[in-house]
Amino acid sequence: MRSIVLLFILLFLFVTPLHAREQPPASVVVTEVKMQKVSQTQSVIGILYYDRISEVSTEVTGLVRTVLARQGAHVQEDEVLVQLDTEMLDNEIALQKTHIAQNELLLQNTRKNFKRLESLYKESGVSEKDYDDALFTYQNAKLEKQARQEELAILLIKKKRSVIRAPFDGIILTKDVDSGAWVQQGKQLVSIGSSNDLFVRAPIGEGLLRYLKKGRKLSVTLNAFEKEVQGVVEDIDPVADVKTKNIFVKIRIPAQEIIAANMSATVHLPAGIEKELCILPRAALIKFQGKDFVYTIKENKAAILPVHIVAFLGDKIGVASGPVMAGMKVVVEGNERLRPDQAVQVTGEQ
């Protein structure tokens, strides 16, 4: 009897930890694998660059008072980048306005004198010389005022140009000046890359050119962030590389919050005629030891299957038939926490 009791105690001590280690079924969302005709893709590495870069310079000479631009900062069109000191310019503007006021007084006086002599001249009350002298003085006063006004306009333009603004929406690539510096006309202050003109330049073999055309949408991976974006073929270089025979394709991508020129990007190019592939969301894909897998469900447990990706299709991928077949259900939510043979509970289907 004692041996039987001891056996039950040992069984209880052994089984209890096993039950304690059991986990409840993982909640997952699944989707059905479809078949579709798509082109096989080939991945190439391209370089990110700004197609439109402005080297912003100053049109006037002066002392830099404030630099608001910061390298790497995003700026909006017409945003102030650099301000030059305008203290001396403001004094010149005030002085010119005083001169114009003086000219206006002189002009009024010479006009009155001319009108008076003009009336007398019509009645032969003054000589022709006196009339001509009065007319000359009046016209000269008008021209003097006009010249002063034009000089004032130039000074106001200089003051306006002393505030250097962004020519378009973009990112500050370089900052080439700081407060307290004396800059000459034409001095580069900052350079800006247009955030709306961000491109990837990627080499392709000449054999792939037949599958590309302007306006075609391509999937692009920003490698630094593992971020997928959709690009559009903007142009194809008309000259191939002499040695490699590669041709460069220019792909426009959407503006990005954080990006640096010359970063790498992977471009997924069409590389063949259309064929039947299994189509599933990228969300179903998981990486393990550098290889691609998906989870399906077998007898209410997670089953991991390898996949061979043939085509990248935006938020979807095309894989060769094999372990994954059309009609099969694959996990698209909750798969990042799954382990092979783990119990699962399907809570939804896309």
Within a domain: 70 = yes
At residue 71, φ and ψ (nearest 5 deg) are: -60, 130
The answer to whether residues 126 and 239 belong to one domain is no
Within a domain: 18 = no
Give the pair of three-digit tokens for residue 285: 């894909």
CATH code for the domain in which residue 92 is found:
1.10.287
Q: Among 160, 179, 212, where does a domain finish?
A: 160
From the number of C-beta atoms within 10 Å of its C-beta (0-12, 13-18, 19+), residue 305 rates as middle
The answer to whether residues 115 and 126 belong to one domain is yes
Within a domain: 175 = yes
The answer to whether residues 177 and 286 belong to one domain is no
CATH code for the domain in which residue 288 is found:
2.40.30.170
| Other Cβ atoms closer than 10 A to 47 | 15
Q: Which residue in this structure is represented by tokens 């989870």? A: 295
Q: What is the pLDDT of residue 76?
A: 94
The answer to whether residues 176 and 247 belong to one domain is no
One-character DSSP codes across 21-60: H--PPEEEEEEE-EEEEEEEEEEEEEEEEES-EEEEE-SS
Q: Among 142, 160, 178, where does a domain finish?
A: 160
Within a domain: 246 = yes
In single-letter form, the type of residue at position 304 comes to I
Per-10-residue mean pLDDT, the chain, length 350: 41 42 80 87 92 94 94 94 94 95 94 91 86 92 95 94 95 94 94 95 90 90 90 92 91 90 92 85 87 92 90 84 89 90 89
Q: Among 110, 145, 160, where does a domain finish?
A: 160
The answer to whether residues 80 and 91 belong to one domain is no
The answer to whether residues 211 and 336 belong to one domain is yes
- In the 8-state DSSP scheme, what is residue 208? G
Q: What is the pLDDT of residue 138?
A: 93
Q: What is the pLDDT of residue 23?
A: 67
The answer to whether residues 174 and 204 belong to one domain is no
From the number of C-beta atoms within 10 Å of its C-beta (0-12, 13-18, 19+), residue 256 rates as middle
338 SS3 class:
coil
CATH code for the domain in which residue 179 is found:
2.40.50.100
CA distance 30 to 19: 28
Q: What is the pLDDT of residue 124?
A: 81
Within a domain: 13 = no
Q: What is the pLDDT of residue 167?
A: 95
Closest CA to 151 of 114, 227, 97, 194: 97
The answer to whether residues 222 and 209 belong to one domain is yes
The answer to whether residues 109 and 230 belong to one domain is no
CA distance 153 to 157: 6
The answer to whether residues 302 and 337 belong to one domain is yes
pTM recorded for the entire structure: 0.66
The answer to whether residues 217 and 299 belong to one domain is yes
Count how many domains the chain has. Answer: 3
CA distance 174 to 168: 15
The answer to whether residues 209 and 336 belong to one domain is yes
- H/E segment holding residue 155: helix 128-161
CA distance 80 to 320: 54
Q: Which residue in this structure is represented by tokens 């694998």? A: 33
Q: Write the CB contacts of 155 (distance below 8 Å, at least 6 apart in sequence).
A: 89, 92, 93, 96
Range of the domain at 148: 87-160
- H/E segment holding residue 199: strand 198-204
Instruction: Tell me how long the chain is.
Output: 350
CA distances from 310 to 268, 280, 292 (A): 10, 12, 12
Within a domain: 3 = no
Within a domain: 318 = yes
Within a domain: 6 = no
Sheet holding 182-183, edge to edge: 163-165, 80-84, 62-67, 182-183
Rg of the chain, C-alpha, whole Å: 39
Give the pair of three-digit tokens for residue 121: 């001249």
